[in-house]
C-alpha cells in the first residue's frame, strides 16, 4: 500500500531512511550522495547514524514520537520511546 494512501487512512506515519555505520562510510556500497538522493526521492527524513560512536541514535529512536506529536490526526500517540522498538 502506498504511503500516501496509508496516511490518508491512518494519519502521519514516521518514515526515515537511516544510513548506519557512518564511521565506515569509506567502505559503504552506496555513496552519501546516493543516500541523500534516495531520501529526497522518497520524501523521507535522512539520518546518518553510528551506534558504536553514539551518533544520532537517540534522534532515530525519538523520530516516531516527534512525528506523532506533530500530527493533527486523532490517533493516540504512544508516550514511551520503548513503545517504538
Tens of pLDDT along 1-53?
566 777 777 777 778 888 888 888 888 888 889 999 999 998 888 999 998 99
> What pLDDT is recorded for position 1?
56
Say what the pLDDT of residue 37 is: 94
CATH number at residue 32: 3.40.50.300
| Per-residue confidence (pLDDT) for residue 33, from 0 to 100 | 92
How many structural domains are present in the chain? Answer: 1
- Residue 29 CA to residue 14 CA, distance in Å, equals 26
Domain containing residue 75? 3-84
pTM of the complete model = 0.65
Amino acid at each position: 500500500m502506498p504511503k500516501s494512501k496509508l496516511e490518508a487512512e491512518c494519519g502521519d506515519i514516521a518514515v526515515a531512511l537511516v544510513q548506519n555505520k557512518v564511521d565506515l562510510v569509506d567502505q559503504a556500497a552506496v555513496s552519501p550522495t546516493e543516500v541523500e538522493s534516495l531520501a529526497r526521492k522518497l520524501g523521507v527524513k535522512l539520518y546518518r547514524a553510528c551506534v558504536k560512536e553514539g551518533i544520532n541514535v537517540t534522534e532515530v529512536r525519538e523520530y516516531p514520537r516527534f512525528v506523532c506529536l506533530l500530527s493533527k490526526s486523532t490517533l493516540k500517540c504512544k508516550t514511551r520511546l520503548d513503545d517504538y522498538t
